Amino acid sequence: MKSNKNTFHRITFFVVIAFIATLTVSFAQTKTAQLDDLLNKYNEYGQFNGSVLVADHGKVIYKKGFGMANMEWDIPNASDTKHRLGSITKQFTSMLIMQLVAEGKLDLQATVSKYLPDYSKVNGDKITIHQLLTHTSGTPNYTSFPDFFKKLSRDPHTPTEMVKMYADSTLIFTPGEQFAYSNSGYITLGAIIEKVTGKRYEQVLQDKILDPLKMNNTGYDHHNTILKKRAAGYEMNRSTLENAPYIDMSTPYAAGSMYSTVEDLFLWDQALYTEKLLPKKYRDMLFKKYVPAFKDFYGYGWSIGSMPIGSTEEKVEIIGHGGGINGFSTIITRIPQDKSSIILLNNTRSAPLGEITVAISGILYGKPYEFPKKSLSDAVYSEIIDKDLKAGLAFFEKNKEAKEYSFDETEMNVIGYRLLQAGKKQEAEAVFNLNMEAFPTSFNVYDSYAEALMEQGKNELAIANYKKSVEMNPNNQNGIDMLKKLGVEIDGVVKEVAVPDAVLASYVGNYELKPGFVLTITKEGSQLKAKATGQSAYDISPKSETEFYVKAISAQITFNVNSAGAVESLTLFQRGKEILGKRME
């Protein structure tokens, strides 16, 4: 099945962490040398392209750029390269709100209607400022609206126009009762800042945070501004990096519009230990554990929780946040116990920033940590191209269990299409077949295999595999279209399944796929939705009473019921992996 171009709301949904191998690290090396070795390896394997800063006990011990800030002009990333931040912007918005609270100009428990009289009274009289800050308002996430990224995100909008997109929408729950990450809430907070101050959000940000901290390489991004040392954003389309889709920066606004450098974000990080911007009483409120969320708890614009130290069972308390926007992925991780920090800004959108952060923490604390693995798929492709198919298949058999290689369904699918596009149809068929044998629970592998078969005129076998793919995922539109093209009547292939409302309700809850990574199942009417840590919500549809498929992406979910009839876990099937998520209390 042909992969869709990535957009910033989809790229990391149900992120399946790249497999990595634990290596014995010589701690005789300096921390700087270890950081260099680790990050060079991530860059070498194509898993990180951006800027890094690491501070140990409040002192910068490492800052460097990797890969290219602009691939068309071969301009390298550096520690002063400007990257778009995505949702890291939210912590700046929350600071501006708390500054207004400290000045007596805002009441956290007041409703939206008090500050935005034109906001829909239906919802504006119910939602408080506190609930917007903590993602407990129930306001639908505008970035999940149909066609938002294809159409609306490309056009400029005023804050008033942005707010009108969702103000009248039905709330997804009663305000204050649940947590659901919502960019919309932070758009509303930006509009409130403008209303209370009488100034544009951008100007308030400059006056009250950036200028006082001398964050001279940080600001509200505008596409038309000539901005020196601005990184270009890239996304992967199959095996090829492309310029990221355009987004007008008025649409992420107070939820995701900023750019910065790792150096400036370190100034921000260290200022948060002082009263330069906010008295301690109010500053502490930013980091209070208000509501259980993805990574333990959510404060005001910050996640508060813990993370493993390297590859050990030990953990350290952290305050942090990630971000993602077309072509960029970001993360800032603060370790309050010793004022250490790890800041990663990546401009190829997809990168295992969480795993890199954990590895860096191992270096900071002198603990074992993990190195990335090589891609087995890329190695197999090279063997086929440099030698022949026989050599590629032999290499795969020899190394498929080797510790130094990772084997990923999507990566193998990519090389299959590279071969198919190069006219090597038999080689592509063989690679897709390998993938199908390795990941038999994935609908996508059957779809891709069928395409290679159809390209060679093996239509009967192609039909059988397309049918299997559609049966596994009734939302596989490509499979449906191909069956129609091959003259197959699909009425009996795609079947509607009705699940009792009480059964759907029993699935609602939080399921921990791994520490700090939670899949939240919610219900709106008769529609179940799934939302992973830091991502948008997606509709899921039933194949049976316990099996569901994700409408927007290649993933399936099975709810596991015990002998007493209680739902105790779910299993996520994606990219050929099966991940068990235990239900959280």
pLDDT digits (tens, 9 = 90+) for 188-245: 999 999 999 999 999 999 999 999 999 999 999 999 999 999 999 998 765 578 999 9
pLDDT for res 252: 95
Q: Rounded CA gap, 379 and 385, in Å?
A: 10
Q: Rounded CA gap, 229 and 69, in Å?
A: 8
Whether the CB-CB separation of 389 and 430 falls below 8 Å is answered with: yes
Phi and psi (nearest 5°) for 132?
-65, -45
User: For the chain, which ranges sit under pLDDT 50?
Assistant: 1-28
pTM to 2 decimal places: 0.73
In the beta sheet, which residues pair with residue 151? none
pLDDT for res 272: 98
pLDDT for res 27: 40
pLDDT for res 473: 81
Over residues 485-542, the pLDDT tens digits come to: 999 887 766 666 789 999 999 999 999 887 667 889 999 888 899 888 756 678 888 8
Q: Rounded CA gap, 422 and 405, in Å?
A: 25
E strand segments, 268-360: 291-293, 296-298, 303-308, 315-325, 328-335, 340-346
Whether the CB-CB separation of 303 and 286 falls below 8 Å is answered with: no
DSSP, collapsed to helix, strand or coil, labels residue 297 as strand
Domains in the chain, ordered, with CATH? Answer: 83-364 (3.40.710.10), 380-485 (1.25.40.10), 501-583 (2.40.128.50)
pLDDT for res 554: 65
Burial bucket for residue 487 (CB in 10 Å: 0-12, 13-18, 19+): exposed
The secondary element (H helix, E strand) that includes residue 63 is: strand 59-65
